[in-house]
A and B are shown apart, each in its own frame.
Chain A
Amino acid sequence: MVNPVLLIVIPLGGAFAIPLFGFISKHISKYVSLIVALGMTVIVGILIPEVLNNPIVVKIGGFKPPFGINLFVSPFSLFFAGIISLLGFLVSIYAIRYIKEGDIDKYHLLFLLFLAGATGVVLTGDIFNMFVFFEILCISSYALVAYNRDKNGVEAGIKYLIQGSVGSAFILIGIALLYGLCGSLNMADIASQIHSVNSPLLSLALFLFITGFGVEGAIFPLNGWLPDAHSSAPSTISAVLSGFAIEVGLYAVLRIVGTVFGATDILYFLAGLGIFTLLIGELSAFKQNDIKRLLAYSSIGQIGLILFAFSVGTPEGIAGGLFHVLSHALSKGLLFLAAGYMIYKAGSREIGKMKGIGLKMPITSFCFLIAAFSLVGLPPFVGFPSKFMIIKSALLTAQGYFFFLVGAVLLGTVIEISYFFKLLQNIFSRTGEEKIDEAPLGALIPIVILAVIILAVGVYPEIVSKFLHLAAYDFMDRMGYINNILGAL
């Protein structure tokens, strides 16, 4: 058996080892992050069959919960850890060629800290530990957004930092209130006694948690930083920020609302917020001329859809939401990676300057097309079964409120189709510059792998659907969560 702690320890250790390797050569660092991410992917692969039988509870330092810090590895959390390590691995292949300027070793150090923070948030079972990992994730992403140190990157970085750190302060106030009311930091312990606490401060704490984690989760009124940060960051960072960082924020919101507070009555409110986020994101994406800004706004729209799916509150809805997390991570990761070299070759981020690039870079653009179709939700790709599952689950609730919101989802999809086709029309038009060649092999490998996964899971959704349903039941089973951790004495 592999100890799941390794999922956090390996990237953390790798990050601290990079400065040491830097004494030999700065170029070792890119292979360090590649090997670390590969190792994480392998560990997740080994853990999946074990976790399907029984969730694993790791007691760090041997302290029994509720006293020590514990990790809880269940299908739901391992699903997120799997996406983080897989996308992290593919992006680090891409980064070997793509990241050439600046302090390469610092980039890879921050990237590994970023991975460690993200896996820590999804695996931990302690609310303050979650905050600490969340801060590791946030601080490294503030620095990575500003990595190029150009005008836009630094401006986006400081905007992201200011909004994110106010959010973190809110989370900390929430933790303080919760500790004052329940006298515990263990999430299972808090969950077991939260219904016996009767205080108005409890709803204040819930509000503070949703606001705080919602900043990273890009829920509608809190997502002002996202289009700037995602469009100004290096493309590899845009891919991981959009691929799993937002989802990790959303995971934190769900864990707090669903597991710790058990507040099912707030789900209607979250569903409405999700739809608002969706429509605002898609409408803003429609008028963009900058390819990365367009993709960033499209991420806001997709996040809104995922939040809506989780807020449906049935196991099917949650499974659909998880499926869409996977579909969004694969598609948006591919889109940002492909856009990275398209921008590099075209010399501009404007869509108008990309005319004819599709015929000069056939493989990159063809994969770009696959990911765009998948995101819109066309049949043979992974976006179709995931969107279908979400809409089906919302209709199965047979509530007028959700019927109304499904209408809004379909409207959002129509807007999405129109702007993606506008983009693709520009890319595949016949006019344009000569002397543009294909992206290098190091960039093509991750792009093609992602495209193959998108196609494979789209054609055979059965590969993941069983796991997704298990994960959804695991998330819904609040008493099981409490018993698994507190019963493991």
Chain B
Amino acid sequence: MEFIENYLYYIASFGLILIGLYIMLVKKNLIKMIIGLSIIDTGVNILLISMGYLKEGTAPIFSHKDLLPSRMVDPVPQALVLTAIVIGVAILALALTLTIVLYRHYGTLNVRKIRDLKW
């Protein structure tokens, strides 16, 4: 039980990453694959945040004098996640745009049927 308490965030984040990878490998619908991509991104972001998380920690701002640096959460991963979210949104937007154009060309979103190009 203690194991789960200590590693809950890691289990959850790797769980999300694996769920996302499973979706991307198995699903045939392009929109579902993009949803899988989004789930992977969420998992990675949770992993990054949990790296710097401290139970009952405070924000890293010296707002009054009895705050100790050792009780503050690490702000660096939070800054990283902010950037990662923006990048994720950019990829998501581009992917959906391309999907719309692809649908106009092929009339389907099934990736097994979209295969003009192959080895």
Q: Which A residues contact B (CB, under 8 angstroms)?
A: 128, 132, 135, 139, 142-143, 146, 149-152, 154-159, 161-162, 165-166, 168-169, 172-173, 175-176, 179-180, 185, 227-228, 231-232, 284
Contact = CB atoms under 8 A, between A and B. Distances in A.
B91 A179 contact: no
B94 A161 contact: yes
B77 A146 contact: no
A139 B86 CA distance: 12
Contact of B119 (A132, A176, A284): A284
Contacts of A151: 105-106, 116
B98 A158 contact: yes
B95 interface: yes
Interface of B: 17, 20-21, 24, 30, 33, 37, 40-41, 44, 47-48, 51, 76-77, 80, 83-84, 87, 90-91, 94-95, 98-99, 101-102, 105-106, 114, 116-117, 119
A166 B24 contact: yes
A155 B114 contact: yes
11 contacts: A128-B80, A135-B90, A135-B91, A139-B91, A142-B94, A146-B101, A155-B102, A155-B114, A158-B30, A158-B102, A169-B20
Contacts of A162: 24, 33, 37, 95
Interface of A is mostly: helix
Given A146-B101, A166-B24, A169-B40, A161 B106 contact: no
Contacts of B37: 162, 165-166, 169
Given A152-B117, A162-B33, A132 B87 contact: yes
Contacts of B95: 158, 161-162, 165
A309 B116 CA distance: 35
A166 B116 contact: no
B57 to A, nearest CB: 16
B107 to A, nearest CB: 11
A279 to B, nearest CB: 15
A128 B105 CA distance: 38
Given A152-B117, A154-B105, A132 B99 contact: no
Given A161-B94, A161-B95, A179-B76, A156 B117 contact: yes
Contacts of A158: 30, 95, 98-99, 102
Contacts of B21: 166
Residue from the set A158, A159, A228 with the largest chain B CB neighbour count within 10 Å: A158
A155 B116 contact: yes
Given A150-B105, A176-B44, 12 more contacts: A132-B87, A135-B90, A135-B91, A142-B94, A146-B101, A154-B105, A157-B98, A158-B95, A166-B21, A169-B20, A175-B80, A176-B47
Contacts of B44: 169, 172-173, 176
A162 B117 CA distance: 15
B62 to A, nearest CB: 18
A191 B21 CA distance: 30
Contacts of B114: 155
Contacts of A231: 117
Nearest to A132: B83
Contacts of B24: 162, 166
Name the 5 nearest CB pairs between A and B, nearest first.
A228-B117, A180-B51, A151-B105, A158-B98, A176-B48
A168 B94 CA distance: 15
Contact of B117 (A149, A155, A161, A185): A155
A135 B101 contact: no
A295 B57 CA distance: 56
Nearest to B114: A155
A161 B98 contact: yes
A231 B117 CA distance: 10
A165 B24 CA distance: 11
B98 A154 contact: yes
A161 B77 CA distance: 25
B40 A166 contact: yes
A302 B118 CA distance: 21
B119 A227 contact: yes
B41 A169 contact: yes
Contacts of A155: 102, 105, 114, 116-117
A135 B87 contact: yes
Given A132-B83, A166-B40, A169-B40, A176 B51 contact: yes
Contacts of A165: 37, 91, 95
Contacts of A168: 87, 91
Contacts of B84: 172
B17 A169 contact: yes
A169 to B, nearest CB: 5
B46 to A, nearest CB: 10
Nearest to A135: B87
Contacts of B76: 179, 185
A41 B8 CA distance: 51
B48 A149 contact: no
Contacts of B106: 151
